[in-house]
Structure 1
Amino acid sequence: MYLPYCVGSKMSLWYIIVAIVVFFASILIAKNTSKTTKNLPPGPPRLPIIGNLHQLGSKPHRSMFKLSKKYGSLMSLKFGNVSTVVASTPETVRDVLKTFDIDCCSRPYMTYAARITYNLKDLGFAPYSKYWRELRKLTVVELYTAKRVQSFRHIREEEVASFVDFIKQSSSLEKPVNFNLKLMKLSASVICRVGFGISLEGSKLENSYDEVIQGIMEVVGSFAAADYFPVIGKIIDRLTGLHGKCEKVFKAMDTFFDQAIKRHLEDESVKDDIIHLLLKMERGEIGLGDFQITRNHTKGILLNILAAGIDTSAQTTTWVMTHLIKNPRVMRKVQAEVREVIKNKDEITEEDIERLEYLTMVIKETHRINPLVPLLIPREASKDIKIAGYDIPEKTWIHVNIWAVHRNPNVWKDPDAFIPERFMGNEIDYKGLNFELLPFGSGRRMCPGLGMGMALVHLTLINLLYRFDWKLPEGMKVEDVDLEESYGLVCPKKVPLELIPIITKWT
């Protein structure tokens, strides 16, 4: 008499199990169907687990450019668990940086960038938020105004004059100047005084500034396993050495910040630099909206000033001199202009910059052919959007490939050739309004320190081109000058540029 009950009970249990399975299966099918109905940008096939990471190579900007030629101006890639799109033409980049800027201007969480920036308390890597907006407003109004840039003019001129004296000594000995190293030191000397109120010499960074700055750029520009594989990523990064490098450069940088801050706290007469301003904010004397900044906020902001301020100016000037020595015709033409405008002035000032039209073209062409940040810091879509007819789901990472834009043959004739004259008679500039040339980005996330950095670049180049002629070391030919870059957030020249200076007759 219990059999029907037993059989019925078992049948009921199976009906329940089947119903549950069907329910969850239908959810999965619905989710997969919704995914397949999305019109995602095309992209290359993916490997299990790693996705497209194996296709990045040692220079991801070049690899992505090559892939975009096959898969299009907006391309889908998968890096571990992370869905990514890459914009590679002026049109798609305009959509990301301008049309949908508000929806694309946040940042994804990046493990080592968070460590370096004191848990995203900086301007470059912090997600889009009220705090970020207040900080951006502060930097624009207080730190990087034309008036403040001008107030540091005497520091730039003093440090460049000291640099010129060093080159004169090298000339008398016919000794090559290592541009990669010496221009980093020049930039570091300026930034230490402008931002931190201390001299590079005798500081905690004196003997390691180049290693620390380059290390920071490599760490924050890396495609870290921790960002793409939540469970085992950090173990992989320890094995590859990325985690150890991050800790090493962080500790060196943090020690330097502590030294500079301690000096300000012990000597109240140290003023008129950026730390002084930030310490006033810590004390509440200057407001940051509803936020009270802490010491870690101060250090996060200083990180942007230290790393971006030193590296971008130094590498820009190095690349300009590399292309000039590689192109003797351009070198002769730009030196002729500089010497005609400056004439026999012994003291070169920043007023001379605006009159040098061909030098401006040379700098633009250098930015085009060697953008310092070939892949902008990744962005993250804050909601579902549609770009160029394709669906970009919320939380998708967005890479903007400036390298691809600047090497696009549909935009630039002979894109691999160094031809400054291509900028003659047009209004294309590098200040974020022309999407064919974006070395400093555009929109809300554009580099705010553009004016500060380029002031030093111009002043340095005028002195180098006016006061000296340049030749390659014995045995080297123009063809031997290497144009390969190393990869990081900022891409420096891989093989250091070494040139022998010859003092010109009027100096």
Structure 2
Amino acid sequence: MHLRLGEIDNVIVSSPEIAKEFLKTHDIIFASRPSLISSEIGCYGNTDIAFAPYGNYWKQLRKICTQELLSTPRVQSLRPIREEEVTDLCKSIAHNAGKPINLTDKISQVSYDIMVRACLGKKSDEKSLFTKIVREGLQNVSVFDIADVYPSIKLLLHLFTDLRRRVEKHHEQLDTIMGKIIDDRKRASAVKIDEGEKQEDLLNVLLKLQSGVSLEHPLTNDNIKAVLMDMFGAGVDTTTSVVDWTMAELLKNRIILKTVQDELRQVFDDKGRVDESNFDELEYLKLVIKETFRFHPTVPLLLPRESREPCQINGYDIPAKTRVLVNAWAMGRDPKYWNDAQSFKPERFLEKSVDFKASSLEYIPFGAGRRMCPGTIYGPVIVEFQLAMLLYHFDWILPDGMKPEDLEMTEVFGVASRRKQDLYVVPIVSRPLLV
């Protein structure tokens, strides 16, 4: 589909066949990003991983991200953090057993706490303020700015809207806090691990690269801030959304809920606790998570791409600077590829072999091609551990006699797709936490 939005040509891709042309065959042509107001300001002039223009600087960041920040060894090194934070979450839930709780809010908070510690080290009042401002800033990123589709008069348009002022205000607050955190860390020692932390946080990794490695494009403090903002922007809302959608779907589908809980309790009852070393045995939980990514992709329209030069696809001329939006939501529900596509059925993946690495383009929850999200290891690990803990230790019922079919499943679209209403549930302790 071609859409002319303001002054900008947009191509909407909604089928795997055509997606292959954009994301695989001609991927190099569509490997760049448009510059948007929110990314220009919030991402330090588009110097982050997500919105940096395609080129050597972006390639360097991508390599750093995949090898140093989100590799399998690095994600495994963060295991003590996620175990401690999710255990604290479950203790909080157990304290309120038998009473309605806002599970969405609790899931969101633990996702932020995990990311703060992974990126910046120990939690503190300053980092709690940082979390609060990040949350507010992500809401601004989700707002459509008319100036992005009328770039020739964007300065005039910003005289009549306050979005740019809001984005700049939040950016200034975040920049001040992040600048202080980086300066404090440098003074303490760029390579020293904070006392009390057993693993290196991501800020330490970036500072080591800044000071000790000969990079083609040396990392400035602003570059480091931009990368850390990506970690929060891409790693918090998305994992929160997946866990929240999964819990909602399980409460609507009690047979599926029982099946996944039976599996968890069969695997972990001998230990009396959830242990990541046994996660290879959780076949059904993995199917449930895959189905959530299909049915409720965290980014329904993948981050926009922009053509770097003219080309021809499927007989159509695509001019340079055309924006491309890939409709992952539509492809994940295409009846040509998915039997009973509008139903939540984890078992479908017993017969359909797909993964998070875009081996099949009808299933691309993390995108595909050069600009594919590098969080294919980090995201599923966080989601899997949170769900395993919540479903092993607790039984769940809806409050006030609500029936499963009455559960609100309306979506709100932003950077990540989320449920319109927070999920309120009543937890019942089934397997007490061992302390």
Q: Give TM-score, length-normalised by structure 1.
A: 0.80
Paired AA for residue 282 in structure 1: Q
CA distance in 1, matches of 2:143, 2:19: 22
Are 1:212 and 2:134 an aligned pair? yes
- Post-superposition Cα deviations, 1:452-489, rounded to whole Å, max 9, x if no partner, equal 12211111111111110001111422122111121211
Q: CA offset at residue 254 of structure 1?
A: 2.1
Give the aligned residue type for 2:214: G
* 2:186 maps to which of 265, 281, 288: 265
Q: Is the 8 A contact 1:93 1:400 kept in 2?
A: yes
Provide the C-alpha distance between the structure 1 equivalents of 2:44 and 2:278, rounded to a whole number of angstroms: 40
Question: 2:35 pairs with 105, 109, 128, which one?
Answer: 109
AA aligned opposite 2:371: R
Answer yes or no: is the 8 Å Cα contact 2:115–2:235 preserved in 1.
yes
Residues 355-383 of structure 1, C-alpha deviations (whole Å, 9 max, x = no match): 11111111111111110101111111111
CA distance in structure 2 between the aligned counterparts of 1:104 and 1:344, rounded to whole angstroms = 51
TM-score (norm 2): 0.93
Matched-pair contact (CA < 8 Å) for 2:356–2:376:
no
Please state whether the residue corresponding to 1:423 is helix, strand or coil. Answer: helix
The one-letter code of the counterpart of 1:219 is: N
State whether residues 221 and 489 of structure 1, in contact with CA within 8 Å, keep that contact through their aligned partners in structure 2.
yes
Q: Identify the residue that residue 329 of structure 2 maps to in structure 1.
A: 403
SS at match of 1:445: coil
The C-alpha deviation readout for 1:235-280, integer Å capped at 9, x for no partner, is 5456454224322432343233124213312323335111112222
Deviations 1:337-365 (A, max 9, x none): 11112223233221222211111111111
Aligned mate of 1:287, from 203, 214, 222: 214
Residue among 108, 121, 135 paired with 1:184: 108
Aligned ranges 1:4-153 → 2 under 5 Å: 75-153=1-79
Q: 1:249 and 1:485 mapped to 2: Cα distance?
A: 26
Give 1:310 deviation, angstroms. 1.5
Tell me: CA distance 1:342–1:257, structure 2 relative to 1, closer, same or farther (3 Å): same
- State the AA in 2 paired with 1:256: I
Q: Tell me what 2:125 maps to.
A: 202
Distance 1:456 1:227, change over 3 A: same
1:243 aligns with 2:156: no
1:447 offset after TM fit, Å?
A: 1.0
1:366 and 2:292 matched: yes
> Where does the alignment leave 5 or more consecutive residues of structure 1 unmatched?
1-74
**Amino acid in structure 2 at the alignment position of 1:261:** I
What is the CA RMSD across the aligned residues, in angstroms? 1.9
Q: Which has the higher contact order (CA 8 A, sep 6+)?
A: 2
What letter corresponds to residue 152 of structure 1 in structure 2? L
Q: Does 1:432 pair with 2:358? A: yes
- SS state at 2:356 partner: coil
Of stretches 313-322 and 472-481 in structure 1, the one that deviates more from structure 2 is 472-481
Count residues with an aligned counterpart.
Answer: 426
Residue 198 of structure 1 and its aligned partner are, at CA, apart by 2.8
Three-state SS of the structure 1 residue aligned to 2:2 is strand
Q: What residue identity is the alignment partner of 1:143?
A: L
2:202 match: 274
Q: Computing the radius of gyration over CA atoms, which structure comes out larger, 1 or 2? A: 1
> By how many angstroms is 1:234 displaced?
4.8
Which AA in structure 2 matches 1:220?
V
Cα 1:232–1:205, aligned 2, differ >3 Å: closer, same or farther?
farther
Whether the 8 Å CA contact 2:332–2:362 is kept in 1: the answer is yes
Structure 1 letter corresponding to 2:63: K
How far has the Cα of 1:221 moved from its partner?
4.2
Amino acid at match of 2:206: L
**1:452-467 equivalent positions in 2, closer than 5 A:** 452-467=378-393
- Cα distance, 1:187 vs. partner? 1.0
Contact 1:375–1:403, Cα closer than 8 Å, also in 2:
yes
Give the whole-Å Cα distance in 2 for the aligned partners of 1:425 and 1:473.
36
Aligned identity (percent) is 38
Q: Distance in 2 between matches of 1:311 and 1:105?
A: 24
**Does the C-alpha gap of structure 1 residues 355 and 505 become closer, same or farther in structure 2, counting only changes over 3 Å?**
closer
